[in-house]
Structure 1
Amino acid sequence: MLPKKGKKLHRGALGSGSDLDFIRLIAGALRAELNSTHQAVKTAMRWTGASERTVKHWFAGTHGPSGEHLVALARHSDEVLKVFLVAADRNSMAVAAKVAELRRMLLETIEYIERQS
């Protein structure tokens, strides 16, 4: 007779309460950055290399990205980066990232104005 090894328990797709909050925040950030179109899903797929089904779960807020995918999303999406920093209780870093983005936009605007003169 084979020994009984017990049952393998799997965590539900939505995880614990804090996991669920983070998953919903990432979903909101993706929708804010890319909208909720099929093209948005394709864009996130290109950014991360994840499958269409996986990315659709992220947008729906039923699953969150893995660490590797989260890094790729944050690399391309300012909204995802901001949500990640706030979730990590690094609000000052989120503000600094926003200031850097605003600075970049201001410099682009100045260059555009100078080309028009």
Structure 2
Amino acid sequence: LFPNGYYFSLAGYTGYTNLIHIKPNITLKPTPNLVLLGGLGFQWRQTTGDAVYQQGNQVVPGTAGKGSLWTGMYVQLRADWTIAANLIGSIEAVHFQVGNSIRQAGGHNADYAGLELKYGW
């Protein structure tokens, strides 16, 4: 109902409309309480007749009907640490490398770093 970037990464640079997305990744569990993830996300538009979209289905201005299918790629690194049964700490870093369609519309590469502490009961 309210899309966010968590489906791909917390950075959430692009939305899900008019999107083809391939994300090979590897997940390691070196200890019972630690999960490490590394992934590469590759993104294309289904059609250049439609725009590139941001989260919330907002159009990236200047992309509709212009540019190529390729919209960009990102590298994601994430660690989740179970501190206690009801407490999880997470850290994530993402670098998004925009494709020419977004660059020609005024967009640029971006970096994201996030830190979370989740408490459940």
Larger radius of gyration: 1
Using the size of structure 1 for normalisation, the TM-score is 0.26
Question: Comparing both structures, which one devotes a greater share of its residues to helix?
Answer: 1
Question: Comparing both structures, which one devotes a greater share of its residues to strand?
Answer: 2
